[in-house]
Amino acid sequence: MLNGVYVQFSGALLFCMVFLFLWKQSGVVYFGYWSLAWAVESAAWVCTLLGQVTGSPHWRLPHAFFEFGFALSLVAAARVGSSEPRSHWRNAMRGLYIFPAFLLLVELAGPNQSNVDAALRSVILSAIYLYSFRQLSFGTRRLFHFTLLALSLFYLQDAADYLIVYLRGGLTPAWMDYMKYSSYYDLALKTLLAFSAMAMWIENQNNRVLQIGMELDRFRREGANESNLDYLTGLLNQDALRRRMDSDESFDGVAVVFDLDRFKSINDVYGHIVGDEVLRNVGNLVRSSIRDEDQAYRWGGDEFAILFNSHAEEVALKRMAEIEARLNDFRVRGHGLLRVHFSWGVVKGQQTRLRDVIDKADRLMYVHKR
């Protein structure tokens, strides 16, 4: 009998340490309640051990108190994080109020009712583990979920065994010889529970690492995109175009190079603030006039480049005419209408080096400007 108590005490202490570790590492309140539950259960088994060593029945009341704390902690663990109203949580906890009252009645009935005491404890623990099983979502916690159900069934069977022994006047039938190993079965299931909790924590940590990795990749991509952007126009900048041209990649589409006519005179007459406003509006117009798969660059100053991927040359010319038509109605705040014109060169590339296509479009643009 003492061996079983030692096993239960050692197991409860071990489980307390496991769940305490999980709580400290993860900060999950659920694990914190389980750690508290096993700490209280360890104290209950100490009371049982002292009662058997000293032969005094007075240890049964503190044992009942700690068992009540154990049950309360398990129910709190089952309820933590649930989305049900607080009133439901109170109703679930209210059912535990009768627990110490029942144990007190058993105590008053006398020490010969130990089988009834054990059966009552097993029924309540079975109900609590079943309640925990129902409260948890299945999800990725399959092993933990299954172990809770197995513990509920185990304690239900345990309660039935104790009732049978009680009804037979305290005599254990020969076919129920397995009862002397019940503490080991209990320890095995709780060990599986602790193992599955560790596995659940490791899986959560792996998911968290993957999520952090995805966030870092996103930040890196956003940082790379921001470093490639021209702050004034919102288009890709000269460095981005230069890197693409230096890669000697082939280009299949239509390249357009254009710059604003007499832009220096705009800066001289209206000032650089108005000049920046003109460039900013050109960038907005270009961005709204191309598809997501096309790219637009501010090549420098008032010069721009657009790469229309897999477009006909006529479509690119139409888009440029639309942009120029909209710029003809451009108005400067405080100055009124300011017509903006630009010259452009258009070249179609068919598996041609991008550098060659851009250079040819640039030369055509200057021919048109002259």
Domain extent, residue 91, equals 2-216
CB neighbourhood size of 31 (10 A): 23
N residues, the chain: 370
Residue 85 confidence class, pLDDT cut points 50, 70, 90: very low
Residue 322 confidence class, pLDDT cut points 50, 70, 90: confident
Total structural domains within the chain: 2
Residue 202 confidence class, pLDDT cut points 50, 70, 90: confident
Whether residue 276 sits in one domain with residue 150: no
What is the rounded distance in angstroms from the CA atom of residue 80 to the CA atom of residue 87?
Answer: 14
* 162 in a structural domain: yes
What is the rounded distance in angstroms from the CA atom of residue 286 to the CA atom of residue 305?
Answer: 10
Tell me the CA distances in angstroms from 258 to 54, 74, 241, 291, one per residue in order.
Answer: 99, 72, 14, 18
> What whole-number percentage of the chain has pLDDT above 70?
84
Whether residue 138 sits in one domain with residue 17: yes
pLDDT at 297: 92
* 104 in a structural domain: yes
250 contacts 305 by C-beta, under 8 angstroms: no
pLDDT at position 307 over 80: yes
55-59, 244-248, 251-255, 256-260: lowest mean pLDDT where?
55-59
pLDDT at position 96 over 60: no
Residue with tokens 């924590």: 201
What is the rounded distance in angstroms from the CA atom of residue 120 to the CA atom of residue 64?
Answer: 11
Mean pLDDT (whole number) for 138-160: 80
CB neighbourhood size of 3 (10 A): 10
Whether residue 349 sits in one domain with residue 248: yes
Residue 82 confidence class, pLDDT cut points 50, 70, 90: very low
Residue 223 confidence class, pLDDT cut points 50, 70, 90: low
Dihedral (CA of 288, 293, 294, 295) sign: positive
Whether residue 128 sits in one domain with residue 36: yes
Mean pLDDT (whole number) for 280-309: 87
350 contacts 253 by C-beta, under 8 angstroms: no
* 302 in a structural domain: yes
pLDDT, tens digit (0-9, with 9 covering 90-100), for 330-357: 776 666 777 778 888 998 888 788 888 8
Whether residue 180 sits in one domain with residue 117: yes
Whether residue 286 sits in one domain with residue 157: no
pLDDT, tens digit (0-9, with 9 covering 90-100), for 154-181: 888 888 888 888 787 777 777 777 777 7
Residue with tokens 């038509």: 325
Supply the mean pLDDT for the chain.
79
What is the rounded distance in angstroms from the CA atom of residue 66 to the CA atom of residue 49?
Answer: 14
